[in-house]
Structure 1
Amino acid sequence: MPEASAAMPLVPAGIVPVILSGGSGSRLWPLSRESLPKQFLPLTTHRTMLQETVLRASGLQPDGAAFASPIIVCNQEHRFLAAAQLSAIGIEERRILLEPVGRNSAPAICAAALLVAEEDPDRLMWMMAADALFEDTAALHQHLAPAVAAARAGRIVTFGIQATAPETGYGYIEVGAPLPGALGAHAIACFEEKPALEVAAAFVASGRHLWNSGMFLFTARSLLREMAQHAPEVLTHVTLAMERRRQDPDFIRLDTEAFTACPSLSLDHAVAERTGLGAVVPADLGWSDVGSWDALWQVAPKDEAGNVATGDALLHDANGCYVRSGEGVVTAVVGLRDVVVVATGDAVLALHRDHAQDVKRIVQRLQGMGRREASHHRRCERPWGFYETLRLGDRFQVKRIVVQPGQKLSLQKHVHRAEHWVVVEGTALVTRDAEEVMLTENQSIHLPLGCVHRLANPGRIPLAIIEVQLGAYLGEDDILRLEDVFGRC
């Protein structure tokens, strides 16, 4: 197995937070899409869901020891986004483990466990999804104590949330007998998949069932042992993907061929529902998976009419509504009750809150139609800045491109399109074949079809340009990268 890079420090002693950040959050479309899923969005505070999750597992543990630096598992397409968001909150000691394809939570956590086991197989790992809300972090840390005791005894421990309503979008855990030596932890009688409404109501009424938070605590040794027994095919493929991994100072890249061959399984299905060593710690933490627009309405502060309004939104004679408006769109709602209206620059969603779980069906229809809006926003984040499409027509496209100070795009060329750049703000250093041209505000340059070119920002303020593309094909895959500081060639 490759040795750890000297630039990537080993995790110190303490619980290792493992943040799974690979979901797409399609029930929060049109805000959450594959290109920018909900974990990278500021949905409940000014920080993104990923940032809130990482900060939740920083500082000191209940016993006064420091948490270890986190391991983030995410899709390779989101690697720069994840790194930038962690740096923005001062988390520089971290390891970002990249999945070449999504294979659900079991392969993701298996890879992280193999990584931790290389250093200490008895290290505790705290697995969390990057897109869940916990309103009471202090209570969460208090509940770690019984979970730690059970996990050190070899248990696979999950946190069960007090069920307050017959939610059909959550899994349920039936609580078993108390565990000796781990006050507050119980054996798991059984897991129940997302039930029908009447079954969910019976679960809540019984008092014996908890919502499955999807959050686990275990040692690397325990998890890998249970994977070997209950999901050996997952362990085999992920072990091979780890042995063939590529590692640099910023990212750990799992082998594509081996990881792609791995079955797609959740940790619940692969281990938690099959193991005889499952344990649950009941907890009341103000938890929500904020997996739907109705869930966001539930947890958000409301006005006297029960409305939640975000962005440039106007409401009149409305009650119980969630209205979110962005990208310069004015959204007005009049005389409606219990509805969700979400407006972005290229899509508008309107639904009754009772149908919040049906948004996935709209996304599936858009995907079937081949619509870009199903998966991508007009604004696309890049490691050097971002671009956004202003207008797309027949044989032309207009974009706004913003390059952060000191950054530069790849050296590239196009087969199907020519481009024209106009500087709106800042200073641009443009490479065009064998020449370099410095441009400032109101100056422009033409890049003919096939020329080798690069855009860089040598200044101290963001560089903004307008790009006009002309050609028979204008897709993002018409980029031949010849050189790139971000390793995308």
Structure 2
Amino acid sequence: MTDTLVAVVLAGGTGTRLYPASRSDRPKQFLPLGGDRSLLAETVDRAGFADEVYVLTRPDLADQVREHAPSAGVLTEPEPKDTGPALAYAAHRVREQVGDCTLVCLPSDHHIEGEGATDGSGLGTSERASPASSDFAGTMTDAAAVAAETDSLVTVGVEPTRPETGYGYVKPGDERTTDGGRTYHPVETFTEKPDQGAAMRYRHHGYYWNAGMFAWTPDAFLREAADSELAPLLDALDAGDPDRGFAAVDPVSVDYAVMEATDDAALVPATFEWDDLGAWDAVERVLDADDDGNAVLGDAVTIDAENTVVATDGHASVVGVEDLVVASYGDRTLVVPKNQAQRVREVVAELEDEGLF
């Protein structure tokens, strides 16, 4: 395995499904959801097992990134075009700046149970977490070791705890072990977000959630990306013209552009509890609910309310309701049935069309 381990934290998105807390000028990675510090700050601290940490963001958010994560280097992509172009750009830039290394790629807006997940030791690769480690740092260093030893693209899979229809799934092959003693599974298939019946089957048959956390060497990722629709971007990056490269490609996820197409994908199971905090209904999974099942973020009063998520940066009162999300931030308020929380993106789409997001 290479001597240098680099963490790349992706922080260029908006988190539209957490509107109105998350807005175009205040993406969710800068919000403290259930804690005292922002999700980005917690993620960068969590990545302290790496030798170097970079945050990849868009230019207009760079100053905010530096405020929330002053210890990290900042990379700015020309424009946000989803995770495919973002991770290709990051791999190319880090290889230029650091040289031979292994990358772990982390979203900036996830919740990891137990924030004692970093040791901050700065240890050399050979001294890092052993294969038996049972925390975030251990899983990610295992994933990086598998990536370096097998020259594969590694995804970290989370064992499902419910038949979730909002996540992608990964079907693992039979367990294998590297020469260094790290266990992994070749990936058989990636599956997009399923319906309820399929999600139940996937959970029963041992599929993992695709958590959007990866490990690879820059050379391995760029090799696979060169055979994808990201090829024009890579050609432009090699020519020193990232603006032209981003203009030449459409927005595309790394899963669709690279991971679903490669024959060299591997899965390392996570040994930590995880939630992507993708929508308001996720808040109740990471906060302690009251006796009536209400999860409250901020200052709120609930009377005769049940199983309701209330989130506010001011004050909110809810009376005689159940199974709702009530979110009020600044001059914006959202009320939606909890089981339709994913539809917040429809609100955001309309607001964007009107220039109000």
TM over 0.5: yes
Query: What is the letter of the counterpart of residue 131 of structure 1?
Result: D
Count of residue pairs brought into register by the alignment: 334
Structure with the higher fraction of residues in helix conformation? 2
2:340 equivalent in structure 1: 355
Which residue number in structure 2 is paired with residue 434 of structure 1? Answer: none
Separation in 1, partners of 2:237, 2:111: 29
The Cα offsets for residues 161-180 of structure 1, whole Å up to 9 and x where unpaired, read as: 00111111100000112223
The residue number in structure 2 matching 1:459 is none
Q: Deviations for 1:58-93, whole angstroms, at most 9, x for unmatched residues?
A: 1x4xxxxxx222111101111111111112xxx1xx
Match of 2:96 in 1: 118
Q: Does 1:313 align with 2:310?
A: no
Q: Which whole-Å CA distance do the structure 1 matches of 2:286 and 2:263 have between them?
A: 35
CA distance in 1, matches of 2:66, 2:333: 30
CA contact (8 A) 1:227 1:234 kept: no
Mapped pair 1:98 → 2:98: no
Q: In the aligned structure 1, how far is the partner of 2:110 from the partner of 2:51?
A: 21
The CA deviation at 1:22 is 1.3
Q: Distance in 2 between matches of 1:311 and 1:187?
A: 44
Q: How does 1:277-356 map to 2 (within 5 A)?
A: 277-326=264-313, 328=314, 330-356=315-341
User: 2: CA distance between counterparts of 1:70 and 1:44?
Assistant: 24
State percent identity of aligned pairs: 34
Tell me the residue number matched to 1:155: 152
Cα distance change on mapping 1:217 and 1:362 into 2, 3 Å: same
1:167 and 2:161 are equivalent in the alignment? no
Any idea what SS the aligned residue of 2:173 has? strand
What amino acid sits opposite 2:327 in the alignment?
V
Aligned-pair CA distance for 1:120: 5.3
Work out which of the residue numbers 81, 85, 89 in structure 1 matches 2:68. Answer: 85
Instruction: Report the Cα offset of residue 145 of structure 1.
Output: 4.4
TM-score by length of 2: 0.88
1:183 Cα deviation from its structure 2 partner:
3.5
The residue aligned with 1:276 is: 263
Residues 433-452 of structure 1: pairs in structure 2 closer than 5 A:
none
Please give the per-residue CA displacement for 1:131-189, whole angstroms capped at 9, x wherever unaligned. Answer: 11111436122223432332112011110000111111100000112223153211001
SS in 2 for 1:118: helix
Q: CA RMSD in A?
A: 1.9
Q: Distance in 2 between matches of 1:282 and 1:68?
A: 23
Deviation of 1:371 (Å): 4.6
4+ residue runs of structure 1 moved beyond 6 angstroms? none
Distance in 1, Cα, partners of 2:172 & 2:267: 7
Pairing of 1:185-334 with structure 2 (within 5 A): 185-206=184-205, 208-230=206-228, 231-240=230-239, 243-244=240-241, 255-326=242-313, 328=314, 330-334=315-319
> In the alignment, residue 317 of structure 1 is paired with which amino acid?
D
SS in 2 for 1:190: strand
Q: Do the aligned partners of residues 34 and 119 (structure 1) sit closer, same or farther apart at CA in structure 2, a change above 3 Å counting? A: closer
Aligned equivalent of 1:70: 53
Q: How far apart, CA to CA, are the structure 2 residues paired with 1:120 and 1:312?
A: 46
Indicate if the aligned counterparts of 1:158 and 1:280 stay in contact, CA closer than 8 A.
Answer: yes
**Does 1:180 pair with 2:163?**
no
Which of the numbers 19, 22, 30 marks the counterpart of 2:20?
A: 30
Which amino acid in structure 1 is aligned with residue 210 of structure 2? N
Letter in 1 for 2:260: E
8 Å contact from structure 1 (residues 162, 211) kept in 2? yes
Kindly state the Cα deviation for residue 115 of structure 1 after the two structures are TM-superposed: 1.9
State the match for 1:383 in structure 2: none
The structure having more radius of gyration, on CA atoms, is 1
Deviations 1:353-374 (A, max 9, x none): 1011111111112223x152xx
The answer to whether the 8 Å contact 1:226/1:271 transfers is yes
Structure 2: where are the runs of 5+ without partners?
Answer: 118-133
Which structure features the higher share of strand residues? 1
- Where in structure 1 are there 5+ consecutive unaligned residues? 1-11, 61-66, 245-254, 376-489
SS of residue in 2 equivalent to 1:57: helix
- The alpha carbon displacement at 1:13 in A equals 5.3
Partner secondary structure for residue 22 of structure 1: coil
8 Å Cα contact 1:158/1:217 also seen in 2: yes
Partner of 1:146: 142
Deviations 1:401-453 (A, max 9, x none): xxxxxxxxxxxxxxxxxxxxxxxxxxxxxxxxxxxxxxxxxxxxxxxxxxxxx
Return the TM-score normalized by structure 1. Answer: 0.65
Q: Distance in 2 between matches of 1:115 and 1:23?
A: 19
Q: Deviations over 1:21-66 (max 9, x none)?
A: 11111111111111111111111311111111100111x4xxxxxx
Does residue 44 (structure 1) correspond to residue 31 (structure 2)? The answer is no
SS where residue 16 of structure 1 aligns?
strand
Distance 1:357 1:185, change over 3 A: same
Shift of 1:269: 1.3
Counterpart code for 2:310: V
Q: Post-superposition shift, 1:213?
A: 0.6
Any conservation in 2 of the 1:107–1:238 contact (CA below 8 Å)? Answer: no
